[in-house]
């Protein structure tokens, strides 16, 4: 008998006798307690935490191996609340979101190895462009070692970090698209995200609680992608999920409105905060409530006519004029830099070290583009930028096709929210490196929100696996939890 057969029979016997499993669990807990508490008392604080945390980590691995869908709601909790990170010897650490993603990918690899999971690279047209982007980025890393300029390129660790950000973003998307087996984990992920977002926004709307809010929540809530998805998911559930009780739909709508209010009124000079959010709402209204969108546009036009200074203050408030001027100049310079290797670029992170060779408004300093598309062009060339745009366009095409093919209620509301979230991300990419953080700007810490954003998109594409699209109307439809009814006798 093989180990796998023995484990299967043991699991079946335990499942048939619930009382036995409870007694075994108590015995295991007592043994763990005796093995942990005694050595922990004799160790220092850091070593004690290591000893105490190891069994918890082992337990978490076992749970995730048994129920892999839990990684999706867990990603929200970890990304927004868990401050843990591993130092790398540089200014950027490997945060808890990256570690969780690495664990989830490792467990997925285990399931693939033992045959519990199946890798379907042809499951969606979104897979090929993302894999192409990964391949081009790896090639760009190799070409980045060539001496393109007299200045030295970025340190190898920074280059690997830049490549890692691209790979992890793609991995988060593919994990969600391939690993999501039912609707329940996605529902938990969405409602946890909206709930925690509601707590953060409520605290930020009370000035006396803002310090506590930024102390409790991690960097994810400060990035544009958080505000994009809190507006997208809140608006989608409020307007489109008729299966949700009215009071909860109202609550979701208030969370989305609170986010828009805070970014426009309190952070109006931060265009990356409020503009993508408005694009999100406009996209949902354009696809599902076009009359409401028309009314909103008329109201905005009337407001612009009656109070043009107010609109101008929002658009050009703070340092926005200077920011626009410097960004346009930075893009012009980077277009000159990338001419030395336009096909594959200068390699991840490298252009940052070459920018001092070119004066920007009279200064010789290192700078970044604050633009995802210019970043991809400078780092991976026309090939990488083409694959990146190809990926976004393909995701958008799949989500557009999906909107009217999934059942009404949560699935359809989520598909519409994801399409709007993608539209917001496309706009946000013009305003900063929010989609794929640049290692010398938002950096690894930006993956706290970035991983969630790519998971949300991947999960939306993963609805194709839960609700396979069929041409005939007689096909059996999945149940709301993602399972399928048995075939007729």
Q: Where along the chain do its domains lie?
A: 125-466
- Give the percent of the chain with pLDDT over 70: 80
pLDDT band for position 42 (cuts 50, 70, 90): very low
Query: In sequence order, which residues have a C-beta less than 8 Å from that of residue 477 and are 6 or more positions away?
Result: 407, 467
Q: Span 235-250, mean pLDDT?
A: 95
* For residue 8, pLDDT beyond 60: no
* d(C-alpha 443, C-alpha 144), whole Å: 19
* DSSP H or E segment with residue 337: helix 320-337
Which segment of 13-22, 249-258, 295-304 scores lowest on mean pLDDT? 13-22
* d(C-alpha 434, C-alpha 276), whole Å: 11
CA 31 to chain centroid:
39
* For residue 225, pLDDT beyond 50: yes
Residues 180 and 464: beta-carbon distance below 8 Å: no
CB count in 10 Å sphere of residue 388: 26
pLDDT band for position 53 (cuts 50, 70, 90): low
* DSSP H or E segment with residue 296: helix 290-306
* For residue 195, pLDDT beyond 60: yes
* For residue 168, pLDDT beyond 60: yes
Highest-scoring range by mean pLDDT, 26-40, 60-74, 394-408: 394-408
Structure confidence by residue, pLDDT tens digits, 81-121: 988 877 665 567 788 899 999 989 988 888 888 877 777 76
Structure confidence by residue, pLDDT tens digits, 250-286: 999 999 999 999 998 888 888 899 999 999 999 999 9
Assessment of whether the complete model's pTM goes beyond 0.75: yes
């Amino acid at each position: 008998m093989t180990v796998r057969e023995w484990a299967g029979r043991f699991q079946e016997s335990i499942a048939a006798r619930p009382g036995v499993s409870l007694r075994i669990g108590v015995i295991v807990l007592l043994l763990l307690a005796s093995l942990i508490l005694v050595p922990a008392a004799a160790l220092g604080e850091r070593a004690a935490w290591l000893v105490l945390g190891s069994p918890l980590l082992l337990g978490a691995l076992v749970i995730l191996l048994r129920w892999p869908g839990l990684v999706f709601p867990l990603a929200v909790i970890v990304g927004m609340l868990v401050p843990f990170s591993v130092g790398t010897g540089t200014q950027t650490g490997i945060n808890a979101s990256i570690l969780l993603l690495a664990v989830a990918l490792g467990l997925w690899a285990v399931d693939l190895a033992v045959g519990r999971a199946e890798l379907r690279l042809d499951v969606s047209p979104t897979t090929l462009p993302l894999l192409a982007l990964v391949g081009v980025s790896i090639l760009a890393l190799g070409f980045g070692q060539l001496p393109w300029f007299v200045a030295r390129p970025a340190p190898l660790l920074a280059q690997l970090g830049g490549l890692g950000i691209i790979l992890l973003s793609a991995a988060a998307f593919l994990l969600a698209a391939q690993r999501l087996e039912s609707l329940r984990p996605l529902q938990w992920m969405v409602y946890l995200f909206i709930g925690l977002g509601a707590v953060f926004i409520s605290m930020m709307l009370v000035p006396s609680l803002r310090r506590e809010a930024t102390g409790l929540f991690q960097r994810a809530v400060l990035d544009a992608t958080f505000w994009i998805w809190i507006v997208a998911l809140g608006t989608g559930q409020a307007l489109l999920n008729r299966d949700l009780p009215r009071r909860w739909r109202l609550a979701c709508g208030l969370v989305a409105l609170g986010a828009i209010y805070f970014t426009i009124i309190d952070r109006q000079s931060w265009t990356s905060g409020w503009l993508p959010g408005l694009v999100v709402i406009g996209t949902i209204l354009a696809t599902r409530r076009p009359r409401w969108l028309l009314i909103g546009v008329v109201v905005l036009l009337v407001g612009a006519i009656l109070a043009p200074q107010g609109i101008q203050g929002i658009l050009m408030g703070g340092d926005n004029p200077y920011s626009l001027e410097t960004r346009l100049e930075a893009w012009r310079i980077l277009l000159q830099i990338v001419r030395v290797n336009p096909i594959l670029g200068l390699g991840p992170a490298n252009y940052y070290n070459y920018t001092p060779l070119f004066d920007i408004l009279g200064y010789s300093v290192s700078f970044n583009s604050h633009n995802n598309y210019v970043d991809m062009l400078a780092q991976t060339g026309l090939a990488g930028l083409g694959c990146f745009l190809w990926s976004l366009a393909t995701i958008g095409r799949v989500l557009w096709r999906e909107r009217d093919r999934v059942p009404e209620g949560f699935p359809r509301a989520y598909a519409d929210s994801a399409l709007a979230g993608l539209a917001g991300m496309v706009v946000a990419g013009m305003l900063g490196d929010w989609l794929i953080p640049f290692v010398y700007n938002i950096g690894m810490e930006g993956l706290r929100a970035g991983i969630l954003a790519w998971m949300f998109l991947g999960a939306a594409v993963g609805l194709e696996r839960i609700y396979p699209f069929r041409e005939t109307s007689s096909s059996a439809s999945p149940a709301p939890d993602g399972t399928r009814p048995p075939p007729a006798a």
